[in-house]
Amino acid sequence: MSIAETPEPPYTAVIFTSVRSDRDEGYDQTAARMFALAARQPGYLGVESAHDPLGITVSYWVDAAAAAAWKRVAEHLVAQRRGRDAWYADYRVRVCTVGRDYGRRGPPPGDPGSEAPGMGTVRP
């Protein structure tokens, strides 16, 4: 997985932070299906996810309405219910508007053609 490409702000981020339970049945398949299904939704921009053991998944949407529409997709509602009932011991969802986005894109430092140290991209 790589860092999501996002447009100039503003856009919406949905941050899902979780701690898994001991139950695992069907989780990996459902998670893969939800990533694929989300990517086909109107207004979807991308996703970033990491787990070790705290899970943090951030999905990006053109606006809050697009994120809210994804929350209501029937197959996603079933997965959410299963997550609450079986897969997550603890979780939190946060929805926010991104007002500033900055960082570095390109080859790793030291690679031929990389930017000068400390240089990067800043967007309002």
For residue 120, pLDDT beyond 80: no
Look up the pTM and report it. 0.84
Residue 1 lies in a domain: no
Residue 2 lies in a domain: no
Q: Give the integer Cα–Cα distance in Å for 9 and 63.
A: 10
Residue 5 lies in a domain: no
23-43, pLDDT tens digit by residue? Answer: 999 999 999 999 999 999 999
Structural domain for 73, as ranges: 11-123
Six-digit token string for 110: 């030291």
SS (H, E, C) the chain: CCCCCCCCCCEEEEEEEEEECCCCCCHHHHHHHHHHHHHCCCCEEEEEEEECCCEEEEEEECCHHHHHHHHCCHHHHHHHHHHHHHHEEEEEEEEEEECCEEECCCCCCCCCCCCCCCCCEEEC
| CATH code, 46 | 3.30.70.100
Residue 109 lies in a domain: yes
Residue 6 lies in a domain: no
45-99, pLDDT tens digit by residue? Answer: 999 999 999 999 999 999 999 999 999 999 999 999 999 999 999 999 999 999 9
Q: Considering its fold, how many domains does the chain have in total?
A: 1
Residue 4 lies in a domain: no
Q: Give the integer Cα–Cα distance in Å for 81 and 73.
A: 12
Residue 111 lies in a domain: yes
